[in-house]
Structure 1
Amino acid sequence: MPADLLYAAQRAKGFMPHPEGLVLFETAVEYGPLGPICEIGSYCGKSALYLGSAARQTGSVVFTVDHHRGSEEIQPGWAYHDPTLMDPRFGKMDSLPSFRCTIAAAGLEDEVIAIVGKSERVAGLWNTPLAMLFIDGGHSEGPVTKDYEGWAPHIVEGGALVFHDVYPDPARGGQGPYLVYQRVLASGAFKEVRHEGSLRVLERVGPGIG
């Protein structure tokens, strides 16, 4: 990963540990030649820097889908809330300005394309095959399930599905991503090929999503 983008990714606002970010980058480099990459849950653009750097290297592109109003765990009163991201005009979270600044400052606006809207709504209109899907939006079981069911059918055979915040131990984190990840493995449509921390990389090996 180029030194300037590596530096930018490490300094960007977000919740992606650097070792996991590097695996995300390496996965995108591996699968990016197969087609576009899609990220569900952009926040302030930290993980998009790892993905965008890989897209530049492989000639791919990253679509990032987020309504930018924040998932439940970053709302006021929750542990991960950042008051600097509140929009006082509407009394709501708005991470889009921070995201745009992050991507522009890194010079990745050609590689990273932001789609502002609810994941479920955008998925219903999506038709482009995906080389890689990274799910990191809402972290309760309902939103993760909708992200998976809405977007996974677009992953090409041999493409990658990546989950973030997979915690087998409930004491370490919420169980939504872990429960959906287990369901995916049980379906037989994907096999796990790599993991780092809470990041799980799966490869599509068959039809259906389970």
Structure 2
Amino acid sequence: MDIAKIKEITRDTDGWLSDREGELLYELAQNCKGRGVIVEIGSWKGKSTIWLAKGSEKGAKSKIYAIDPHTGSPEHGKKVWTYDEFRANIKKAGVEKMVIPIVKNSLEAVSEFEEPVELLFIDGAHEYEAVKSDLKAWFPKVIDGGIIAFHDSAGWGRWPGVEKAVVEHVYKSDKFRNVKFVQSITFGQKVSENNFTERLKNRYTLLLKIIADFGDGLHLPVPVRRIGKKILLLLK
């Protein structure tokens, strides 16, 4: 299935994932080698789950463990129930057999989880302590060379708590290399220990992120923002 078709499938699926972010998740899932499974923390109604599953179908066909209590999160202000709609959307997209839902919060799920993880996508509660706890709990499950990605950590869609956790525990960590960002998603590769050059590259990417975020905050004209983004791409 091509990207245009997936965009069409997910267009009416409720969620806060852009098409470009969806394409990134598709690429990350497709690039998995089958050395572990794919875990998503925070599925909501399945938009990101569908992108991950479609990418995995094109690659090693790793299963997607979609972890969500389906009762919303503190930022929603009240409890909701999204599981039925999640299942309906997964079925409609034709990825039921690729997805294993776990109706728990991430800290409950991790205590019983035994599979190695090759790709971890964190999009759960957005408070700083919650993001830090998700990363700390799941980090040991991720294989060396695996990818960890965070939604709402950069750009126009960033949340302060997520951004702070990612800056402190990813960009400035000695356990990540090749840290990059696409719109609001930050992602990097887990390593036992990065070297000086890799740490320097991560700090350089952080600088690029700060510049990009500053430009977004200025509400510059669209043509100016486009030129700026092209320059950033050339610098990466």
Q: Residue 195 of structure 1 corresponds to which residue in structure 2?
A: 181
Q: Does the CA contact (< 8 Å) of 1:32 and 1:132 recur in 2?
A: no
Q: Is the 8 A contact 2:122 2:151 kept in 1?
A: yes
CA distance in 1, matches of 2:107, 2:193: 21
Match of 2:171 in 1: 185
Tell me which of the two structures has the higher relative contact order, counting C-alpha pairs closer than 8 angstroms and 6 or more residues apart.
1
The runs of at least 4 aligned residues of structure 1 exceeding 4 Å deviation read: none
* Structure 2 residue runs without a partner (length 5+): 195-236
Q: Which TM-score applies when normalising by structure 1?
A: 0.84
For structure 1, list consecutive stretches of 5 or more residues without a partner in the other structure. 77-91
Counterpart residue number, 1:73: 75
Cα distance in 2, alignment partners of residues 127 and 166 from structure 1: 28
Indicate the larger mover: 184-193 or 35-44.
Answer: 184-193
User: Hey, what does 1:61 align to over in structure 2?
Assistant: 63
Paired-residue identity, %? 31
- 1:175 corresponding residue in structure 2: 160
Shift of residue 173, structure 1, vs aligned partner: 4.0
Q: Distance in 1 between matches of 2:111 and 2:71?
A: 20
Give the distance between the partners of 1:35 and 1:127, measured in 2 at CA: 11
Give the number of aligned pairs: 191
Larger radius of gyration: 2
| Aligned residue identity for 1:19 | R
Q: Residue type of the partner of 2:163? A: Y
d(CA) in 2 for partners of 1:55, 1:46:
15
Structure 1, residues 10-58: CA drift from partner, whole Å, max 9, x if none? 3211000111111111111112533210000000000001001012112
TM-score, normalisation: structure 2: 0.75
The structural deviation recorded for 1:207 is 5.8
Does residue 10 of the first structure (1) align with residue 14 of the second (2)?
no
Contact 2:155–2:184 under 8 Å retained in 1 = no
Is the Cα contact below 8 Å between 2:37 and 2:116 reproduced in 1? Answer: yes
- Bigger helix share: 2
Higher strand share: 1
Tell me if structure 1 keeps the 8 A contact 2:15–2:47: yes
